[in-house]
Structure 1
């Protein structure tokens, strides 16, 4: 129950920042080009820095094993999402499939996990973010572009999430800590991840037509799959998996029930698709996640040792 309270508090704080982003756009202080620039900064620089810093810790062989279990759980959850989307979403509805498979783990998972587990939690969460990031830059782009952008090894290795985690992992393995001044500076930049993400979501909300967000039945079906069906399948997978560490399970549980990824709108705009429709799904899922995330995590705490 305490975890659920922390999550609700974090979500409400994030909602205040989202409202700030809404006001910035409504009063024309933040234009579309500015939002695009912010999105690029967060995706290409801030999140990789967060992932890199999560590896700044004393080397521990046991933690390395736990990192492997976090990677296993992440792969299983992402694969289950792809299967769920394939079964429940028609092939032609490419944005819906993307919205079901990929979650807002970096923007919403990081600020929830940090106060609960600190950078140790982000250490494990990095495996989910990297797994999801690789899938977004390969499978995700492939489905949004309808096969025009093929999945390549280059996309796997050169996406921002992979680069940030790879640099952090190398420093962790060779046991080189960053100088305190550099670490503190990068840590301040990393702290921008959640505020900027919520400002972007507020901007999407301000540019959307409320009628098309809340009065179209199909939107609710996509959000139901994203927030309820897919997380329940993910919970079943975690329950059946050999993962037993409580911290790893808590991190994967939170990642499992975060709402639709912001990239649903960003990538739709870049690779072909209805950018505004993607934004509406993001907004609706983010709103309802305030209810569903605590419920799913409370249910998970009854099933899993977290």
Structure 2
């Protein structure tokens, strides 16, 4: 099946699950406290487990070189987004800039890559997730708090995604395979990442006023930077970089196209900002990405083939 069609079908399934989350919140089966607890579970436990599981494979030294190339592509994408956000959104709020820089690879990137490439794909995707998380816990916190949050080495090394990568890489380099029963159990837990993430997004939609999401023109410029302008610049950067491995290119193309990170709302609430505005940007970008993600993947394929 064509990759773009697979991605489109996967997105449709995810949005159906999102509407389930919408119903749960609208009919008071899931309140704000419950949503925050789910977000904590996914962020602190399930995503790190998925990253650890991606390293459960036979050791191959050539894959370490591909991980390094993935890291170079990741840095190029993230740094270009920061430059674009501070150029195209310099007169907008710090939340707009955060929303344009950071994408939702935990809740949306992981299920799409798992569907297309399995844990082999997550092995390379983990580089993007960890690098992006480090930027969120450093640059992102600093930007949203307007310099009040201090960036420390501990904040870089101890965030959940980094810990998952350290554990997974340690097992990989040590050639340690998990017992079958433990592997199967963790694999089942990891599969919860996508449905729980989309239920959370459905909750954001249910708590937002529809007119504030869709009828405010200012929202669309920030979302356009995240879903269209940044991905196009990212495609060009990937094209000029010395990356030729098809799976790595596909994974970076997917991460390049995913919508605004859920942490846009969570971090805004924690470090100072309009949490509800951040949630509206997340919902709008997530809904429109059902069109833009397949388009950007198709454009990427035209460049890379």
The TM-score, its normalising length taken from structure 1, stands at: 0.98
Please list, as runs of the form range in 1=range in 2, the aligned pairs for 1:221-240 lying within 5 A after superposition.
221-240=221-240
Aligned pairs for 1:19-98 within 5 A:
19-90=19-90, 93-98=93-98
2:68 and 2:90 mapped to 1: Cα distance? 34
Structure 2 CA distance, aligned partners of 1:107 and 1:92? 26
Distance 2:220 2:283 in 1: 11
Q: What corresponds to 2:120 in structure 1?
A: 120
Displacement, 1:75? 1.1
1:278 pairs with 2:282: no
1:84-137 deviation per Cα after TM superposition (whole angstroms, max 9, x unaligned): 111111266110010000000111111111121111100000000001000001
* 1:295 alignment counterpart: 295
Q: Could you tell me how far 1:13 is from its partner in structure 2?
A: 0.1
What SS does the aligned partner of 2:103 have? coil
CA distance in 1, matches of 2:186, 2:217: 43
Question: Aligned runs of 1:142-291 on 2, under 5 Å?
Answer: 142-291=142-291
Q: Displacement, 1:240?
A: 0.7
Unaligned 5+ residue runs, structure 2? none
Q: Distance in 2 between matches of 1:238 and 1:93?
A: 29
Q: CA separation in 2, counterparts of 1:53 and 1:185?
A: 11
Q: For residues 63 and 115 of structure 1, what CA distance do their matches in structure 2 show?
A: 21
Partner deviation per Cα, 1:241-260 (whole Å, 9 max, x = no partner): 00110010000000100000
Q: Which residue pairs with 2:107 in the alignment?
A: 107
Q: Return the alpha-carbon distance in structure 2 between the equivalents of residues 240 and 211 of structure 1.
A: 41
Could you tell me how far apart the structure 1 residues matched to 2:63 and 2:92 are?
42
Q: What do the CA deviations read for 1:167-219 (whole angstroms, capped 9, x no partner)?
A: 00011011111111111111111011010000000000000000100010110
Partners of 1:40 and 1:256 lie apart in 2 by 25
TM-score, length basis structure 2: 0.99
Aligned-residue CA RMSD (Å): 0.9
Q: Which runs of 5+ in 1 are unaligned?
A: none
Superposed displacement of residue 68, structure 1 = 1.0
How far is the alpha carbon of 1:55 from its aligned partner? 0.4
> What CA distance in whole angstroms lies between the structure 1 residues aligned with 2:175 and 2:91?
47
Distance 1:91 1:167, change over 3 A: farther
Distance 1:180 1:68 in 2: 29
Distance in 1 (alpha carbons) for counterparts of 2:277 and 2:222:
12
